[in-house]
Chains A and B, each alone.
Chain A
Amino acid sequence: SAVISQKPSRDICQRGTSLTIQCQVDSQVTMMFWYRQQPGQSLTLIATANQGSEATYESGFVIDKFPISRPNLTFSTLTVSNMSPEDSSIYLCSVEGMGPNSYEQYFGPGTRLTVT
């Protein structure tokens, strides 16, 4: 299993500003995923981040709005740029399981963002 921590756990931000969310994993992983989860809604994948290459963004998400860094195999950051109230959500990072258990995903506790 993997233990994932995220910082900050929550934040209240003003519109037009940016917030960087950090994700730290206790083991080396190839792929890290960033999700958004709005109340009563599913997990929506924002992007997949591989170490040493640019992140791959899902439809509807762009690098200018959600830049991602992946400097090593245990760490990643997601920035929510030029925020608006519509960006208020929970942001979760996730990693895949190892070896034959790679169907499984492990999730961090999430970052609860409120944009005013």
Chain B
Amino acid sequence: ETGVTQSPTHLIKTRGQQVTLRCSSQSGHNTVSWYQQALGQGPQFIFQYYREEENGRGNFPPRFSGLQFPNYSSELNVNALELDDSALYLCASSFGTGGYYGYTFGSGTRLTVV
């Protein structure tokens, strides 16, 4: 059983650029959630995708957007990057949308905006 894989592992971008982060779900999981973890903070919920539709969104601006594909993999896109977007971005997959099912997290993508 493969876990959640994220790519790339590290990324450096310039302010104003756009970035796409990728996530492959664990086998059998149909829901993907994205979290942002700033340095010294806990992960913060960005949004969740279920059946290729956004199913809940945290307090993040519209320049954060996502996609889920038929194979349940997912992308996180961030436009007009700002310095404060520098963080670890975590993808988590689960089966179903209830919190009781628990997540499997990937190792994350470390994004640095300069």
Partners in one complex: no
| A residues neighboring B (CB under 8 Å) | none
| B residues neighboring A (CB under 8 Å) | none
